[in-house]
């Protein structure tokens, strides 16, 4: 059995392809917002809030698939690599079915007049038009998440980079063609961005599924399903993480709906700020997935004493990476925000907000590794408790600075400091006081 290598070069070898691919997702969101900001503030805000809601609901699939990654990495560490395809085959079917159910649920919610919660009616109309198309993406995106879990759990992340590059390229071209209309195609506005994203996600699914069948076609045809007992164990492990991730993104989604109550300009600044927060996500996504793979794999190999030193290396890599890509938020925020604003008031507000975001990013660089380590060890319930505690405080502060005593937008974003500091403290308390390295999954 080959042992998992844990040096800095090994961490980067696994994390960089995921981060490079995630960078394409960042470009996709940035391109969406650039084209939509050239359409109208209403188009940007309506599609932006719909996008946040989509990401929130997508956490149902992400939580299930992330625990699939933990199971796959643990089985590989235990020398039972043949079970990885069993987990993948079962997971693909479950996520596809979950995607179909979620499409139906969103359709029902929208039919009940959900868009009526918007203070600005025009923003609500764009929200509905965008979501009517975007909801279909749950089916391919959930299956892509499960394939991602397979490749990360088996420490083969390079194909993920190429799949995300293909996804991002298709989305950018689709935006250019469909939002404003090119090559004889109609100008669809915000629904055009949603259509481009759906086509792009389907492209990513084709790339990843093609790779699985190319390398494992013969094994796939003879692969067994997971036993009911094993599947129940997976669902038990996944439930806290699904709740945790859905509540986290749901609270963040709520944040943007609260900001919309303060004003249109504040919401636009917040969506632009969200774009630059994704720079941290670009790096952290690769490092977080790598953290879960390393922690679960090392525990599977019985190398408990190696876990803490690896966590330290992962934090260093995460902090340095985020500092490298996001330093502009501190040093030249006005230049970064200028392509999205023509009015000086909005540009000035964005320039004050981005340094706040930068500070939150650096806090995120530490807390994200700590939380992923708790998850990777199989302690998904304590991770949920830590997250819930932080979310309660986050929600209270967010309501206070938007509805109770509305603040300038850069002060509203101080809520991120509250959230990430509490996550970090909660994880440190758990990791220092509990014997968490003996968890079996």
CB 365 within 8 A of CB 322: yes
Look at residue 74 and tell me if it is in a domain.
yes
Residue 379: inside a domain: yes
- Three-state DSSP state, 206: helix
Given a contact cutoff of 8 angstroms between Cβ atoms, the answer to whether 290 and 160 are in contact is: no
- The C-alpha angle with vertex 314 and arms to 311 and 319, in degrees rounded to 5, equals 125
- Give CA torsion, residues 20, 22, 27, 28, to 10 deg: 140
Which of 56, 36, 24, 53 lies closest to 268, judged by CA?
36
Question: Does residue 439 sit within a domain?
Answer: no
Report the pLDDT averaged over residues 277-301: 80
Q: What percent of the chain has pLDDT over 70?
A: 90
Model confidence at 239: pLDDT above 80? yes
Q: Which two tokens stand for residue 399?
A: 């309501």
- Alpha helices (H) in 154-189, listed in sequence order: 158-178
Structural domains of the chain, count: 1
Q: Please state, as a whole number, how many other Cβ atoms lie within 10 Å of the Cβ of residue 408.
A: 14
Please check whether residue 438 lies inside any domain of the structure.
Answer: no
Q: Give residue-wise pLDDT tens across range 246-265.
A: 888 788 778 888 988 888 88
- For residue 116, give the DSSP letter: G
pLDDT at residue 420 in the model: 94
**Assigned domain for 1 exists:** no
Answer yes or no: is 150 within a domain.
yes
pLDDT score, position 1 = 43
**Is 98 domain-assigned?**
yes
Q: By mean pLDDT, which of 132-141, 144-153, 167-176, 280-289 is the weakest?
A: 280-289
Other Cβ atoms less than 10 A from the Cβ of 396: the count is 12
Q: Tens digit of pLDDT for each residue in 119-149? A: 778 888 888 888 899 899 999 989 998 998 8
Tokens 């400091």 label which residue?
417
Q: How far apart are CA 274 and CA 424, in angstroms?
A: 21
Are the CB atoms for 46 and 126 separated by under 8 Å? yes
| Domain span at 255 | 8-433
Cα–Cα distance measured from residue 77 to residue 300, given in angstroms and rounded to the nearest whole number: 5
pTM for the full predicted model: 0.70
Beta-carbon contacts of 173 under 8 Å, excluding residues fewer than 6 positions away, are: 196
Distance between CA atoms of 137 and 112, rounded to whole angstroms? 21
On whether the CB atoms of residues 50 and 132 are closer than 8 A, the answer is no
- CA triple 212-217-220, angle to 5 deg: 90
Residue 129 lies in a domain: yes
Taking residue 105's Cβ as centre, other Cβ atoms within 10 Å add up to 13
402-439 pLDDT, tens digit per residue, is 999 999 999 999 999 999 999 999 999 988 876 665 55
- Torsion on CA atoms 196, 197, 199, 201, rounded to nearest 10: 160
325, 287 Cβ separation under 8 angstroms:
no
**Rg, C-alpha atoms of the chain:** 21
More confident residue, 127 or 279: 127
Kindly tell me if the per-residue pLDDT of 380 is higher than 60.
yes
């Amino acid at each position: 059995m080959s042992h998992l290598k844990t040096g800095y070069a090994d961490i980067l070898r696994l994390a960089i392809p995921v981060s490079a691919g995630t960078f394409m997702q960042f470009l996709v969101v940035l391109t969406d917002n650039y084209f939509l900001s050239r359409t109208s503030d209403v188009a940007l805000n309506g599609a932006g809030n719909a996008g946040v809601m989509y990401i929130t609901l997508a956490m149902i699939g992400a939580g299930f698939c992330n625990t699939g990654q933990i199971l796959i990495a643990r089985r590989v560490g235990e020398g039972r690599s043949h079970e990885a395809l069993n987990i993948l085959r079962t997971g693909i079917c479950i996520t596809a079915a979950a995607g179909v159910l979620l499409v139906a649920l969103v359709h029902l919610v929208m039919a009940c007049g959900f868009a009526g919660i918007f203070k600005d009616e025009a923003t609500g109309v764009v929200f509905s038009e965008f979501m009517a198309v975007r909801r279909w993406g749950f089916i391919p995106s959930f299956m892509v998440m499960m394939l991602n879990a397979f490749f990360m759990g088996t420490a083969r992340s390079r194909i993920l980079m190429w799949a995300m590059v293909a996804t991002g390229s298709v989305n950018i071209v689709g935006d250019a063609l469909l939002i404003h209309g090119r090559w004889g195609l109609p100008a669809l506005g915000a629904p055009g961005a949603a259509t481009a994203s759906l086509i792009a996600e389907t492209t990513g699914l084709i790339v990843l599924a093609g790779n699985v069948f190319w390398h494992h076609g013969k094994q796939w045809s003879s692969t067994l399903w997971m036993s009911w007992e094993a599947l129940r164990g997976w669902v038990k492990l996944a439930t806290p993480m699904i709740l945790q991730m859905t509540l986290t993104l749901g609270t963040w989604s709520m944040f943007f709906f609260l900001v919309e109550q303060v004003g249109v300009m504040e919401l636009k600044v917040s969506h632009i700020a969200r774009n630059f927060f994704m720079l941290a996500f670009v790096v952290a996504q690769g490092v977080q997935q790598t953290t879960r793979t390393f922690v679960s794999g090392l525990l599977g190999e019985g190398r408990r004493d190696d876990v803490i030193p690896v966590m330290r290396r992962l934090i260093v890599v995460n902090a340095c990476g985020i500092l490298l890509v996001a330093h502009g938020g501190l040093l030249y925020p006005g230049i970064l925000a200028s392509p999205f604003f023509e009015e000086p008031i909005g540009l000035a507000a964005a320039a004050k907000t981005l340094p706040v975001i930068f500070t939150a990013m650096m806090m995120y660089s530490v807390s994200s590794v700590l939380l992923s380590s708790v998850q990777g060890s199989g302690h998904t319930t304590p991770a949920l408790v830590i997250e819930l505690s932080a979310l309660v405080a986050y929600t209270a502060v967010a309501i206070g600075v938007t509805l109770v005593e509305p603040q300038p937008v850069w002060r509203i974003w101080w809520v991120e400091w509250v959230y990430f500091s509490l996550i970090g403290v909660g994880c440190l308390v758990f990791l220092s006081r509990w014997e968490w390295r003996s968890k079996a999954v």
